């Protein structure tokens, strides 16, 4: 988590109206922090990946992810939502906790390894409970980067 998440890409109580608006917000957060990335491309890649199937894990958690050719290294964005939104999750529960992941285009195995690690981490009920209890981005970042499994 420490290698892919920064305070600038951590947001607490984000308004979430729909997946589209949420992906716009995620793309904006990433591109504001990484000006070399193109907003339209990041948004398009997140949307295209989601069309292949929901990245909702269940229990209110989603890990949207995609590959972006110009991405210099794996990048993460952690968000909690003001109000849960429908995400077509397997358990039909709305999502309020998201970790978006971007990886370089050629990082196939690294992409899979990071996703597997994130899935293990977000399946820890205590970790998710602590994230949801965070009152601001600073405390959210701290929980995410200092949690000990």
**73/19 Cα distance (integer angstroms):** 25
Give the pairing of strands 10-14 and 75-85. Answer: parallel
Instruction: Count the domains in the chain.
Output: 1
Q: Look up tokens 């996703």; give the residue.
A: 115
Mean pLDDT, consecutive 10-residue stretches, the chain (149 aa), reads: 95 91 96 96 97 95 95 96 95 97 91 94 96 97 91
Domain span at residue 137 reads 7-146
**74/5 Cα distance (integer angstroms):** 9
Say if CB 54 and CB 73 are below 8 A apart.
no
| Residue 2 domain flag | no
DSSP 7: G
Say if CB 75 and CB 9 are below 8 A apart.
yes
| Model pLDDT, residue 39 | 97
Radius of gyration of the chain (CA): 14
**105/97 Cα distance (integer angstroms):** 25
The CATH number of the domain holding residue 53 is: 3.40.930.10
Active-site entry in 9, 19, 65, 111: 65
| Model pLDDT, residue 33 | 96
Q: 83 is written with which tokens?
A: 């109000």
| Residue 1 domain flag | no
Looking at the whole model, is its pTM more than 0.75?
Answer: yes
Alpha helices in 3-136 (DSSP H): 19-33, 39-52, 108-122, 125-133
Q: 123 is written with which tokens?
A: 């399946």
| Model pLDDT, residue 87 | 93
3-state secondary structure of 114: helix
Per the annotation, the verdict on 111 as an active-site residue is: no
| Model pLDDT, residue 149 | 66
| Model pLDDT, residue 148 | 79
Q: 129 is written with which tokens?
A: 């409970």
| Model pLDDT, residue 47 | 97
**62/70 Cα distance (integer angstroms):** 24
| Residue 133 domain flag | yes
Q: Look up tokens 């990082």; give the residue.
A: 107
């Amino acid at each position: 988590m420490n290698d892919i998440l920064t305070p600038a890409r951590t947001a607490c109580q984000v308004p979430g109206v729909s997946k589209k608006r949420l992906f716009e917000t995620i793309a904006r957060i990433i591109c504001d922090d990484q000006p070399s990335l193109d907003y339209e491309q990041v948004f398009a890649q997140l949307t295209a990946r989601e069309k292949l199937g929901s990245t909702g894990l269940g229990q209110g958690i989603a890990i949207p992810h995609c590959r972006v050719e110009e991405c210099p290294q794996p990048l993460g964005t952690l968000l909690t939502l003001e109000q849960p939104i429908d995400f077509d999750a397997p358990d039909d529960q709305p999502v309020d906790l998201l970790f978006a992941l971007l990886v370089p285009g050629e990082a196939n195995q690294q992409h899979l390894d990071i996703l597997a690690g994130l899935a293990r981490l977000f399946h820890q009920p205590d970790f998710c409970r602590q994230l949801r209890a965070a009152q601001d981005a600073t405390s959210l970042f701290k929980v995410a980067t200092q949690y000990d499994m």
